[in-house]
Structure 1
């Protein structure tokens, strides 16, 4: 599975987890067709969930004129994934994580989601 596809699937799984009472592995199985889960996808979902409070604190400290709790669900999920990649995935350059997050925000979010995500993540570099 390509990393872009893995990121889309990870977004979908994390969105499910954050918006319903579903187990992490069950959410992953809902979004993949193959019986074997891609390692990058698995790491993204579990990594975000394992470091969520630290990631949320990092995002919160880089918000201007927004509180973390007021963030739309799509943007919050995308920001969490990118913040995880930027901090914990040494093989992913920060700019790649930002670009991929912006693309996810454009696909799943509102018209200005990509710009918002880019602004927040750029402050984290």
Structure 2
């Protein structure tokens, strides 16, 4: 499975986990029958490090609270920040580009600009 597809499926699985009391395996099972370690790592990593990710995002958000963000943007940001903070295999530039492309597919026309604005603060550190 290509990484873009895994990130899109991770978004969908995390969205389900946000809305339902189900296990990570069930959430992934609802979005794909394929087994993919990158997908599983993204979903479980975001869940495992959610407090740290959310604390980091809260510092970067200007005039926004995490709870006010639309779920799509919040979930895209969580996935990207997980990759930026806890994995070293993908360059930051690629992580940000992937987040922008996914937010264009699943969000509205303003989503990718907002996501870019927040994630660009991670590259300035």
TM-score, normalising length from structure 1? 0.95
Task: Identify the residue that residue 74 of structure 1 maps to in structure 2.
Answer: 72
User: SS state of the match for residue 33, structure 1?
Assistant: coil
Q: CA deviation at 1:21?
A: 1.6
Q: Which runs of 5+ in 2 are unaligned?
A: none
**1-side partners of 2:92 and 2:110: how far apart?**
21
- 1:22: which partner in 2? 22
Deviation of the 1:68 alpha carbon? 1.0
With 76-85 and 22-31 compared, the bigger mean Cα shift is at 22-31
Which of 100, 115, 118 pairs up with 1:117? 115
- Give runs of aligned pairs for residues 76-115 of structure 1, distance below 5 A: 76-115=74-113
Kindly provide the CA deviation profile for residues 16-45 of structure 1, in whole angstroms up to 9, marking residues without a partner as x: 1012222111000111133xx101000000
Q: Which runs of 4+ in 1 moved over 6 A?
A: none
Where 1:61 maps in the other structure, the secondary structure is helix
Cα separation, 1, equivalents of 2:19 and 2:99: 19
CA-CA distance at 1:65 after TM superposition: 1.2
Q: Give the secondary-structure state (helix, strand or coil) at the position aligned to 1:66.
A: coil
Instruction: Select 1:59's aligned residue among 36, 57, 60.
Output: 57
Listed as ranges, the gaps of 5+ residues in structure 1 are none
SS of match in other structure, 2:28: helix
